[in-house]
Amino acid sequence: MTVILFLCRQKRSFFLFSYHRKHIGLNHLAFHAESIVQVDAITKQLHQKGIPILYPDMHPYAGGINHYAVYFEDPDRIKVEIVAQEL
Domains and CATH numbers, the chain: 30-84 (3.10.180.10)
User: What count of Cα atoms within 13 Å lies in the side-chain half-sphere of residue 54?
Assistant: 15
Q: Return the higher-pLDDT residue of 59 and 23.
A: 59
- Confidence class for position 2, pLDDT limits 50, 70, 90: very low
Write the pLDDT tens digit of every residue in 21-31: 666 667 788 99
